[in-house]
Amino acid sequence: MQSEIDVLKQFIGESSYIIFFGGAGVSTESGIPDFRSVDGLYNQKYKYPPETILSHNFFMSNTADFYEFYRAKMLCTDAQPNPAHIKLAELEKRGKLKAVITQNIDGLHQKAGSEAVLELHGSIHRNFCMACKASFDVDAVKGHTGVPCCNCGGVVKPDVVLFGEQLNDGVISEAISHIRKADMLIIGGTSLGVYPAAGLINYYKGNKLVLINKSQTPVDGSADLVINGSIGKVLNEVVL
């Protein structure tokens, strides 16, 4: 592992436009469950599978049941940034890292101090009224039971991309633009099996593609450096 860490340090030293692309593994190290993984929520017992509950159709038809699950399992507002979040925020402050692209919705990168964060799947911290588009913070959803409603009577919906919903085009374009410009792309905590991760990395044209993941991924063969390990532990080894 040490020789790989040394290469990682060397790559970072040589780079001035680093982009980090992170998956659920970045958040699981802060104790947030990954609802796509075998060890995650799918193994737990609910009346409906999480993928059903977290879908657009379920939200529209069973809004109260959606919120019961969402408050219990998705609103991890007590979670704290781990060494991966902290190191990435430091890299941004030093001008090395230009953006974090994340599939997570927990806001932990911002909590760690990162400013340029592209949230492909939205954020639990943003909510809006489906009728008048008024905005609400997470407390408006968290501190209540039942379906949160706006003063206008409209239902409040989290700004989170549910199954069956489209990703935000503006966020995707910005992510692609950053990846195209990147001289180093670090991908962490994702097995790259899920859209749009696998497609986005095709826009990278540099020669420092780094994969940090506990298990192998389908693109290990095309990476310039593969480190199998905890994203937090690995990034923590990088001394700036």
Question: Which residue stretches of the chain are H helix?
Answer: 2-14, 24-28, 50-53, 56-61, 63-69, 83-93, 108-112, 138-142, 169-181, 197-200, 231-236
Nearer to Zn ion, 150 or 187 (CB): 150
For residue 196, what is the DSSP state? T
Smallest distance, Zn ion to C-beta of residue 192, A: 39
Smallest distance, Zn ion to C-beta of residue 152, A: 3
Smallest distance, Zn ion to C-beta of residue 16, A: 45
**Residue tagged 């690995």 (tokens):** 234
Stretch that binds Zn ion, among 53-61, 95-103, 109-117, 128-136 (CB under 5 A): 128-136
How far lies 72's CA from each of 60, 84, 144, in Å? 19, 25, 12
- Tell whether residue 129 is a contact of Zn ion (CB under 5 A): yes
118 in helix, strand or coil? strand
Smallest distance, Zn ion to C-beta of residue 38, A: 40
Nearer to Zn ion, 26 or 129 (CB): 129
What's CA 13's distance to the chain center, in Å?
25
Backbone angles phi, psi at 225, to 5 degrees: -155, 130
Residue of 1, 131, 194, 240 interacting with Zn ion (CB under 5 A): 131
- Tell whether residue 156 is a contact of Zn ion (CB under 5 A): no
Task: List strands edge to edge, sheet with 122-129.
Answer: 135-136, 122-129, 156-160
Nearer to Zn ion, 138 or 140 (CB): 140
46 in helix, strand or coil? coil
- Tell whether residue 150 is a contact of Zn ion (CB under 5 A): yes
- Tell whether residue 113 is a contact of Zn ion (CB under 5 A): no
Pairing mode of beta strands 97-102, 18-22: parallel
Stretch that binds Zn ion, among 50-58, 73-81, 115-123, 126-134 (CB under 5 A): 126-134
What's CA 90's distance to the chain center, in Å?
18
Distance CA 114, CA 223 (A): 26
- Tell whether residue 132 is a contact of Zn ion (CB under 5 A): yes
Cis check for the bond before 81: say yes or no (omega within 30 of 0). Answer: no
Nearer to Zn ion, 140 or 198 (CB): 140
Smallest distance, Zn ion to C-beta of residue 84, A: 37
Q: Considering the candidates 56, 109, 121, 144, report the single residue annotated as catalytic.
A: 121
- Tell whether residue 99 is a contact of Zn ion (CB under 5 A): no
Nearer to Zn ion, 1 or 132 (CB): 132
User: Is 121 known to be catalytic?
Assistant: yes
- Tell whether residue 154 is a contact of Zn ion (CB under 5 A): yes
Interacting residues with Zn ion (CB under 5 A): 129, 131-132, 134, 150, 152, 154
Task: Please give the positions annotated as active site.
Answer: 121
